[in-house]
Amino acid sequence: MKTRITELLGIRHPIIQGGMHYVGFAEMAAAVSNAGGLGIITALTQPSPEHLAREIARCREMTDQPIGVNLTFLPSVKPPDYPGYVRAILDGGVKIVETAGNNPQQWLPALQEAGVKVIHKCTSVRHALKAEAIGCDAVSVDGFECGGHPGEDDVPNMILLPRAADELRIPFVASGGMADGRSLVAALAMGADGMNMGTRFVATREAPVHDRVKQAILAASELDTRLVMRPLRNTERVLVNAGVTRLLEKEQTLGRDITFDDIAPEVAGVYPRVMVDGDMDAGAWSCGMVAGLIHDIPTCRELIDRIMGEADTIIRGRLEGLLAA
């Protein structure tokens, strides 16, 4: 399948593995890229730029296909060594970067001077237009269904994607609720050039997470996610568990007076405890409503091949068959 995204990124299939904390390691990215999609290493999972450089090199040993790096710009009193992470990306020869969080404008000149294509994650049309205006090469449009941070506008992809298609000139991919060939065809029909999957890729054999995480996604339905940190305007969609229930009880009790310190036990340092140790009640970890569409744990190649086969069947079979002679 050829779209503006496959052409821009040099990949065979218009499927991107989103950057995910404590999931986007070298083996995950390499498996997706080897299957014809775009695998992405998560920079801030690595404790330093030097660790990121080693992770990129490790990934290079597993694949000769294009890979990307996710770099999330967080508001912080003591920010990560962003210049160092950018240097590690450039020195590693990575040509695709997925940015998220704060405006990436100050980092674009160095990245693009080195020939790096920048995809910025956006949860609204206005943010996508801003990304286009500052020179991003593409955007990932994240609907309200997505795991992680869906923004504060609560617009689902059935509305958000066509709105983005109406306004944007640069390519964009759909993120949030993406799981199978139906997702891909629907995203393309609404104007996207491909899709970005997070939660679906966690439930694959190569995902370097504890098996309890994968089994929790399989056991979940579309009703089993919750929105946390809404009072702090840092909304995150997470899988419900005992830690999340404690967090929500604090939000209900404290209301607008809640601070990050109040919920730190349920959100700070949770990812290694969940993803590595399998402590499923440790606290809040991102999961999309798409969990309700996930029923197996295939390899990345099996998953991507299946998606593309389903998409072909839908386009050539069902949709063409609906047209009157």
pLDDT in tens, 100-122: 999 999 999 999 999 999 999 99
pLDDT in tens, 12-61: 999 999 999 999 999 999 999 999 999 999 999 999 999 999 999 999 99
Quick one: 161 and 175 in the same domain?
Answer: yes
Q: Which of 121, 103, 108 is nearest to 196 (CA)?
A: 121
Whether the Cβ atoms of residue 44 and residue 71 lie closer than 8 Å to each other: yes
pLDDT in tens, 121-161: 999 999 999 999 999 999 999 999 999 999 999 999 999 99
The letter for the amino acid at 66 is P
Quick one: 63 and 168 in the same domain?
Answer: yes
Quick one: 73 and 156 in the same domain?
Answer: yes
pLDDT at site 325? 67
Average pLDDT over residues 184-204: 98
- Six token digits for residue 113: 């001077």
Quick one: 202 and 169 in the same domain?
Answer: yes
Q: Which of 145, 111, 116 is nearest to 225 (CA)?
A: 145
Q: Domain containing 40: what range? A: 4-208+297-321
Q: Which of 37, 30, 4 is nearest to 306 (CA)?
A: 37
Quick one: 73 and 195 in the same domain?
Answer: yes
Q: Indicate the SS3 state at residue 151.
A: coil
pTM for this entry: 0.96
Helices 26-34 and 300-313, packing angle to 10 deg? 40
Quick one: 89 and 203 in the same domain?
Answer: yes
Quick one: 194 and 269 in the same domain?
Answer: no
First to last CA, the chain: 26
Quick one: 148 and 263 in the same domain?
Answer: no
Quick one: 186 and 277 in the same domain?
Answer: no
Q: How many domains does the chain have?
A: 2
pLDDT at site 77? 73
